[in-house]
Amino acid sequence: MLSFARQGHSVQQDGLMGDLRKIRVLCSDSAHFSVQKNMALMGPRLSVRYPG
């Protein structure tokens, strides 16, 4: 996100750029429920992975 800020892109105002289907979030099984909830709000094609 820092690189976007340096280019004058605001994620809060303009949203995410690029192919959102490529975005993945890796977190532990004990991650807060809000991780999954926020990814669902960002779009149905985004996924959260819990590596075992």
Residue 41 banded pLDDT, cuts 50, 70, 90:
confident
Tell whether 43 is covered by a domain. Answer: yes
Residue 7 DSSP code: T
CB 49 within 8 A of CB 26: yes
Tell whether 4 is covered by a domain. Answer: no
Question: Over 70: is that where the pLDDT of 2 sits?
Answer: no
The per-residue pLDDT for range 10-38, each reduced to its tens digit, is 777 777 777 777 777 788 888 888 888 88
Residue 21 DSSP code: G
**Into how many domains does the chain fold?**
1
Residue with tokens 């977190």: 27
List the beta bridge partners of residue 25.
Answer: 48
Task: At 31, list the tokens.
Answer: 């991650």
Average pLDDT over every residue of 29-52: 77
* Domain residue limits at 42: 20-49
